[in-house]
Amino acid sequence: MKIILQEVGPRDGLQAEKQIVPLEKKEAWIRALMDSGVDIIQVGSFVHPEKVPQMAETDKLFRRLMKDKRSATVLSGLALNEKGVERGLACGAEMFYLGASASETHSTKNTGVGTAQATQRIIAAAKIAVAAGKKVQVSVQSAFGCGFEGPIPEDRVLDMVRSYLEAGLRKISLADTAGHATPAQVERLFSAIFKLDPTVECACHFHNTYGLGMANIYAALRVGVTTFDTSFAGLGGCPFAKVAAGNVATEDFVAALQREGLRKDLDLKGLITVARDVAAHFGREMPGFVYKIDS
């Protein structure tokens, strides 16, 4: 089983920051991540620039990165609807990350519609991307709990997963948008998904609100999840969640894997350099650990 690393810092990391990072700086970080051997990078979001101004130059950034792309790293973008996918197709996105929230409150704040309507909108958008020959990952956001609503019924999460599977979407992520997940819950939900379809390719996205991010990653790994979202220096958080807590740091996860003899092909020093540059740019200590201690 190959562990696939999906870097979400340029998207999930930067969208939570008040400071808008210059296009050239974003490009430099992404190119360094590509050089480090990361499998997938979420370059940005195809969303309304007034709602998430940090993502306003996503289309331009994709065009710059795709113009002379030689790396095997897959460049992905987040979209919330068909219009977002169309923007991504126009600027060369290689993969789309599409998700709907299992929390009615979070869904309404994030997309303007409830869970059921958002799910159908995501499926329609995903089908457009698939028809265009693009890779697609669909997600259930707030799958493990919500800062507004508290616990989310697991049957609701699994019903959304069934809708994705019925639509022929095979790469499915559970996202812990509010950071409420526990390892036991992670094992239970992903195990239930594999019972629905043992061939599904599962991904996970954990926020570190209660310090359980890394524990939840290892719980997911134990039950067969293969794709893991992490963010450089541990940046991150949904601006429409009640608490925008960071992700597990990319360099922390890679360091942990390499201590166990896994993913030695990834350039950990290169990832640490990016994390340090991110910390220097924002002028503050980041949530990650390894970048502070590795010499």
**Domains of the chain with CATH codes:** 4-293 (3.20.20.70)
Name the residue among 110, 205, 196 with its Cα closest to residue 154: 196
Neighbouring-strand partners of residue 231: 249
Question: Could you tell me the two tokens for 180?
Answer: 């409420």
Query: In the prediction, which pLDDT does 76 show?
Result: 98
Which residue stretches of the chain have pLDDT < 70? Answer: 105, 107, 110-112, 237-245, 294-295
Name the residue among 95, 114, 94 with its Cα closest to residue 104: 114
3-state secondary structure of 75: strand
Query: In the prediction, which pLDDT does 220 show?
Result: 98
CB 161 within 8 A of CB 102: no
pTM of the model: 0.93
Query: What does the alpha-carbon distance between residue 279 and residue 217 come to, in Å, rounded to a whole number?
Result: 24
List CB contacts of 60: < 8 A, sequence separation 6 or more.
23, 91
Query: What does the alpha-carbon distance between residue 134 and residue 144 come to, in Å, rounded to a whole number?
Result: 28
Q: ∠ CA(201), CA(101), CA(78), 5° rounding? A: 65
CB 143 within 8 A of CB 119: no
Q: ∠ CA(168), CA(71), CA(129), 5° rounding? A: 25
120 burial level (CB within 10 Å; 0-12, 13-18, 19+) = middle
Rounded to 10 deg, the angle between the 115-131 and 104-111 helix axes is 60
H/E stretch holding 202 reads strand 201-206
Q: Which sequence positions are flagged as catalytic?
A: 238
